[in-house]
Amino acid sequence: GENVEQHPSTLSVQEGDSAVIKCTYSDSASNYFPWYKQELGKGPQLIIDIRSNVGEKKDQRIAVTLNKTAKHFSLHITETQPEDSAVYFCAASRRGSYIPTFGRGTSLIVHP
Amino acid sequence: EPEVTQTPSHQVTQMGQEVILRCVPISNHLYFYWYRQILGQKVEFLVSFYNNEISEKSEIFDDQFSVERPDGSNFTLKIRSTKLEDSAMYFCASSGGGLEQPQHFGDGTRLSIL
């Protein structure tokens, strides 16, 4: 089955800095890659997603890149703010499946 | 903005008892999901549900578990003969489309088995 590895497990940055979270996946048939933000006591909230026919997608301060050949994808957050502090999960779904496989999560801490 | 709602927020149950976790998906969504997150671990898929039947399920979703859409708005997860290791956060999600479509999550039910 699919295996998604996510790094780092914890990321601490100063307000205004950029943050990068990286994920790798094992199943070359995966073609949908969502990113979720989970705040304390809340459920995961989709913040951005990318499909395998696209190499990069951007939404304001958030961007995701995908390298299908290397089977890795990354989340980039620019100009970080304290409210960006949360746990971020990457996930991968293979074509024809409802089952997303999640990474273990990255706890992002943005210091004011 | 429409949201997925889950009740109760916290459920405490004696080992061996049955529990029912409830979810109200977003009203015009057609696909429904349950996930589990053991404390400090990754989110794990349990089951997907469409057109009143299970579309896909994971290895975790064995005979101890069942899902039901008893009416036009609720989506439930039943866990029979609960075990200590069933203690976790259980998240419901829904999506308007099926495969490879954004899923919207509720805030979860914390299940504690004593």
Residue in B31, B97, B106 with CA at minimum distance from that of residue A38: B106
Q: Write down the pLDDT at residue A52.
A: 83
Average confidence (pLDDT) per 10 residues, chain B, 114 residues: 90 96 93 93 92 91 94 92 96 84 91 96
Contact call for B4 and A96, based on CB within 8 A: no
Q: Write down the pLDDT at residue B18.
A: 97
Q: pLDDT tens digit string along A3-25?
A: 999 999 999 999 999 999 999 99
Residue in B76, B67, B74, B66 with CA at minimum distance from that of residue B26: B74
> How does residue A66 score in pLDDT terms, banded at 50, 70 and 90?
very high
Mean pLDDT of A97-106: 88
Cβ–Cβ pairs < 8 A, chains A and B:
58
Helix (H, G, I), strand (E, B) or coil at A62: strand
Q: Write down the pLDDT at residue A94.
A: 83
Q: Write down the pLDDT at residue B98.
A: 67
Residues of A in contact with B103 (CB under 8 A): 34, 46, 100
The Cα–Cα gap between A23 and B43 comes to 15
B-proximal residues of A, 75-94, CB under 8 Å: 89, 91, 93
The more confident residue out of B76 and A98 is B76
B42: nearest CB among A42, A95, A105: A105
Mean pLDDT of A31-53: 91
Q: Write down the pLDDT at residue A108.
A: 98
Contact call for A104 and B4, based on CB within 8 A: no
Contact call for B43 and A32, based on CB within 8 A: no
Contact call for A104 and B41, based on CB within 8 A: yes
Contact call for A44 and B43, based on CB within 8 A: yes
